[in-house]
Every structure is written in structure tokens, then in C-alpha cells.
Structure 1
Amino acid sequence: MDALRRGPPLLRGSHPEPRHGGAGAGDPLRPRRCNPHPHRGEPHARPRPHRLRRSGSYPGRRPPLRTRNPHPAPRRGELTVRHEQPDRILDTYVQILVESGVRQATIEAVARRCGLSKAGLLHHFGSRAGLDAALLARLRDLVERDVVSMRDAPEGAVHYYLATSLDSESELERMVVAATRLAHSGSTDAGAVLRWARDRWFDVMVAHLGHPLLARLAILAGDGVSYHNDISDEHGDRFISPDDLDAFTQLVEGRRDT
């Protein structure tokens, strides 16, 4: 029975030839082995390609792993664009506030004028309150720098304050007007920053004139000049001129010792 199950014995030479040459080819009594060099002695076998040689690596050695830099270097101009975009949005917001008021300075209007979507604008500031906070932060920075210039002005603090109040196109004056629009609409933060700025200018004026009442008079005169610019048309109505500023400066500073 076992012989029937095993089948007829194979005759010598009747075993099929192995696929590869070398030891054991044509000999059914020797165990078949995989040829460790299949490309040797076989014209159709193709050798395994070696790895490409790289710097510091050789065939058979794994190249060093390259990990991604968690802080990649920015592309050229990328940092400039990131900083300029919020500034451009804030400049547009100030411009709409100065020209049209608070009701017209909506998120949609600012984004439309900047050529952005509403989501693109909110990506930088998050909300209308974020725009207001950025505006007031820039105003604080401008006031601090202006106080230093006012203190060191060769023409004196009075003339400097009046002349800069007459310059309606300066960044500081436009920011003051924009913050005033916010304060009139009910923004307590804007009102607080404007009062802080007034006190900073007043301290410099008192130090220059040595008289608190004259300092208040000079501050109110500068505010009146700014208000005059706010209500004037684009051609100006010549209610006040640079010569008037010189005369007023002489009048105020002439009473310093009285």
C-alpha cells in the first residue's frame, strides 16, 4: 500500500532538470539548493543593481536618515509679506475710519478694499475688536515717539505741537482722528488711550513753559488746529496759516515769566 501511495520509482535521468545550473543539475539524488550566485553561468540572469553612490554612503550601507527641519528657512520675501499684510489691512481700516466713519469701517469693507476675503482678514486680526486693539497699540507707539521729538524740537514744544497738529496727512494725526471716531462711537479703550496721549503731551508742554495754565492753553490750541483740519474741505479754507502758528507761539512763550 505504501508503495502504491508513493507511486512508481523515478528512473535515473527522468527527474526534471532544476531551473538553475550549478551543483545538483541533472542529479535527482542530490538535494536542490538555491544558487547563491544566480547570475553566474546564466546568460539571461541580470545582476542586482547597486545603490546609487551618495556622499558618505556606499553600496550595502543605508544612507543616513534625513529629518525635516522643524524651523525651515523662509523663502525669499516671505517674512516681508507676513509683516506687510497686517500693516496694509490696518492702514486701510484707518483710512475708512477717517474718510467715512465707524459705520462704514466694517470687516467686509476693509477686506474688499484690501482685495481679501473676510476669512483672509480675520486670519490676521480675528475680529473687529482685534483691529481696534491693533490701531490703539500703533497709536501708543506713535505718541511715544512724538513725545521724544517734541521734547527735543529746536523750535520749542509749543510750535512743534501746533505745526504737527496742522499736518493732517501725517500718520499720527490720522491715527488720532481714527481713534477719536472710535471713542465717539462708545469705545472706552479708545477714549482712555486718547486721554493718556493728551497727558503725555501736556507733561512735555509744562516742562517747556513752566506754567500749567499756559501748557493747557497750548494743548487746547493744538486740538483746535486739528479740529479745523477735520472740518476743512480738501482745498482748505485758510482759517489758520503757518504765520498764525508763529504768532501764537510768540504770544504764549512771551508770557512764560508773567
Structure 2
Amino acid sequence: MSKLASQSRSAIQWRVTTGSQAIDRATPQEVAVGLSFDGRPHTVLMATPDDVEDLARGFTVTEAVARPEDIMEVEVRETDLGLLADVKLKPGAIQRKARPRTLEGRSSCGLCGVQRLADAVRPLPRLEGAARVSHQAVQRAVDALGDVQALGRLTRATHAAAFADGKGALVMIREDVGRHNALDKLAGAMAREARDASEGFVLVTSRCSFEMVEKTVRMGCSILVAVSAPTDLAIRRAEEAGLTLVALARADGHTVFTYAERLLDAAPELV
């Protein structure tokens, strides 16, 4: 971590009770990350410059460019204009057709530069087999998430994506200014460590748009938990792919929109 990828900035803070005062405020760094495959440029993402290798690996998997096992290495280098990440694929690997893009991807955008409607909403694999977890496990992960968001606590300006095991213990977390980037970083880290995403659930701090559903499905995870509300398309895509979609996950509970049978009223070992 590069000092949590933040920069201290001076500002004037105004409050109703105290008026104006000078403060220093930590802000998250955001840089251009050029992503290429075997030296062929594909897109430019605006991202936090931490875990860039994980970002490249995760993007490769969640955007259906190639399988995790087809990635030989990721070469990341720094330039005057930003970072360049080149994904080296195995010779002869079956490279899936990536969505063609014509402009940079903003940190808040999941489909920037996609040229055709057919590329925006593509067929998803159907999830086979699934973990079952308790409602209490979901709440355990939600309650723990705030304490492990180091960059988020410092800046109050980033998203997080985490993976929890079947008991709700947080196993891995990644942060970024972009919600899609955070989830891609998590996917990449899990792929790099060969961690089985079907053994737990994904938890994200952002709103649940359909792209977050798609990326979770392509990770091979059967349960997605989001702290904010889902869109109707996110729910429909979850239904089509066999994903359990849990949203509005707050301190006082959560709402299950699809495949609620995977959420148990008691811990699995007690059922």
C-alpha cells in the first residue's frame, strides 16, 4: 500500500455551530490505469493506484476476457501519465471476446465506451451449486466491514468490496474510488490466490447495479450483499443467473430479493 494512496489537502471547513476553520483533509488518489492484453491496448480506467495487478486480473475475469487460469502474469509499470497494466495470456488460450470500448472508463462507470447495446447486457453463466449462510453471518460481515476500510475511514471517499466466509468472517477486502474497480480488485486478488468464491459471499459498499451482479456471477460466487438498494435490472440479472441478491444491508438487517432459500434463520451447522 502506498500510504493508503491518499493525499493531504488544505481546506476551509464551515459548521453551523463553529463557523469557519482551516483543516487538512485526506483525499484518495485517482490515476489513469491503461489496461492491455498481450500488449494490445483495451481501455483506460480511473482508479486508486493500489492493487493494480489485482484490478487487471479481476477485470480480465469479470469482463469475460479470459479465465483466471489463462493469465500468466500481469506487468505493471509507471509512466508520467499514469500506470500501464499489461495482462499476459497463455499461448493458445481461448480468449473470449471483450466488450469493445472507444473511450476511457470513469471510476463511477461500469460500461464507459461500450459501443453496442448487445455488448451492454450479455448472457451470463448459470451458477451451479451454492453456499448457504445464515442471516446472522450476513450481519456479522456487515458489522465488521467499516472497521477494515482503512482508506475509506481516512478519506470518506472510496468504495470497498469484501469476501466473507460462510460464517460471516471477512477474508479479503479491496478499496477504490470506483465501485466497479473495488470489486474487480477483489476478484483479481481471489483469482491470484486461487480462492474459491463459491464458499462464501461478496459484500459491497455501493449501490447494486446490474454490472455488480454480473461481476459477482463471473467470479463464481452465489451470494452478493450490498449496503444500498438494487436496480430492477440487477434483480432480473440475478434471477437469470441463479444469484442470491441481498441488499439494503444495514446495522438493523437486510432484504433478500432473489433465491432467499440460501439465507437461513440459523447457522448452517445448526440446521
Bin of the TM-score, shorter chain as denominator length: under 0.3
TM-score, length of structure 2 as denominator length? 0.23
TM-score, length of structure 1 as denominator length? 0.24
Choose between structure 1 and 2 for higher RCO, CA contacts under 8 A separated by at least 6 residues: 2
- The structure with the larger Rg is 1
- Name whichever structure is richer in helix by fraction: 1
